[in-house]
Amino acid sequence: MDIVIPLFRLFEPLDAIGPYELLANVPDARVRFVAPEPGRIADVLGAMRVDVPTRYSEVESCDVLLVPGGAGARLMLDNTEFIDWVRRIHETTRFTTSVCTGALILGAAGLLKGLTATTHWLAMDDLETFGATYTAERVVRHDKIMTSAGVSAGIDLALGLCALLSDELTARAIQLFTEYDPQPPYDSGSLATATPEVVARARELASGG
């Protein structure tokens, strides 16, 4: 079972590493990172470097494609070769998925037109420019296309994928093994629960403030 996660400069680390942690535990699964060019890829936060040996164009098919987000995802929207590759690989997958603003890449590839989809709340308007309808759900599935909301939501998407790729018992075991049992100290993880002050501060942080 071949699971491919493309990385690009300024990717959001948890978008990729969170799902990787869970999916790598699926029996008979192989998770591969690919990139525009082989080498060391830097994340958007600046301290993580991932050595990626494989160029994405070397991959002609896979069972699962998982596209992370981050500032780099927006830059990749202008890379027609990459977008064409996503569209082509989608034809071969069992599941084509995105985390956070990775949904914009699926949108640019024409995969979300006419569908409801989710992404980071700061990118909801951008998502709809590709013909999708934004929904605030944490994970949205349409047949083999799955999108998740921002950053940590990719873990929820990946856990659901674990069941689809194996079975619910295995997915529950992976959840236990990774002790994925969220109990956050604050209830500010979505626009539905965050106060206006929290939303304003989050916007400041997103813009570097």
Query: pLDDT tens string for the chain (209 positions)?
Result: 999 999 999 999 999 999 999 999 999 999 999 999 999 999 999 999 999 999 999 999 999 999 999 999 999 999 999 999 999 999 999 999 999 999 999 999 999 999 999 999 999 999 999 999 999 999 999 999 999 999 999 999 999 999 999 999 999 999 999 999 999 999 999 999 999 999 999 999 999 87
In a domain, 198, yes or no: no
In a domain, 208, yes or no: no
In a domain, 207, yes or no: no
Structural domain boundaries enclosing 49:
2-183
Distance set, CA 56 to CA 62, 114, 187 (Å): 11, 27, 38
Q: Which of 76, 100, 108, 161 is catalytic?
A: 100
Task: Compute the distance between CA of residue 172 and CA of residue 180 in angstroms, rounded to an integer.
Answer: 10
Burial code (b: 16+ CB inside 10 Å, e: under 16) for 19-33 equals: bbbbbebbeebebbb
In a domain, 138, yes or no: yes
In a domain, 202, yes or no: no
pLDDT at 208: 87
Q: How many other CB atoms are there within 10 angstroms of residue 46's CB atom?
A: 8
Total count of domains within the chain: 1
pLDDT at 209: 77
CA nearest 82: which of 64, 102, 52?
A: 102
pLDDT at 53: 96
Q: Is 100 a catalytic residue?
A: yes
> In sequence order, what DSSP letters do the residues of 56-121 get, joined into one string?
GGG----SEEEE--SHHHHHHTT-HHHHHHHHHHHTT-SEEEEETTHHHHHHHTTSSTTSEE---G
What is the domain-level CATH number for residue 157?
Answer: 3.40.50.880
pLDDT at 25: 98
For 14, the 3-state DSSP assignment is: helix
